[in-house]
Amino acid sequence: MDGVSHTVEVTAATLYEAVARGLAALRGNEWVAGIAQGASTVKVSVADVRVEHEVKFADFMIWLDRPPRSPRDVSARHEIRSILGMPTSR
């Protein structure tokens, strides 16, 4: 089936997760012939979904100054402080 391409849309957190979800979606359809593994290429195109949020500046600053509750919070606040040119150690 040279020259045949298939397209699916998936949501994934990583490149390889996107490949896996795309292959799973294609394999779940009977009209898709077997996908050759050898020389096949999987093309992944990233399309950001437009999302709009409104955050009050005061709420943002309260969040930024609040003590972190987890290592993930520590990392997030450190990164944001760095972006804003603020001291990162407290």
What is the per-residue pLDDT across 39-69, written as a single tens digit (0 to 9) for each? 567 778 877 777 677 888 888 889 889 998 9
In angstroms, the CA 68 to CA 75 distance is 9
Residue 5 reports pLDDT greater than 70: yes
pLDDT of residue 84: 84
pTM (2 d.p.): 0.47
In angstroms, the CA 90 to CA 82 distance is 12
pLDDT of residue 33: 64
Residue 71 reports pLDDT greater than 90: yes
Exposure string (b/e) for 29-42, b if CB count within 10 Å is 16 or more?
eeeeeeeeeeeeee
Nearest CA to 23 out of 46, 38, 7 is that of 7
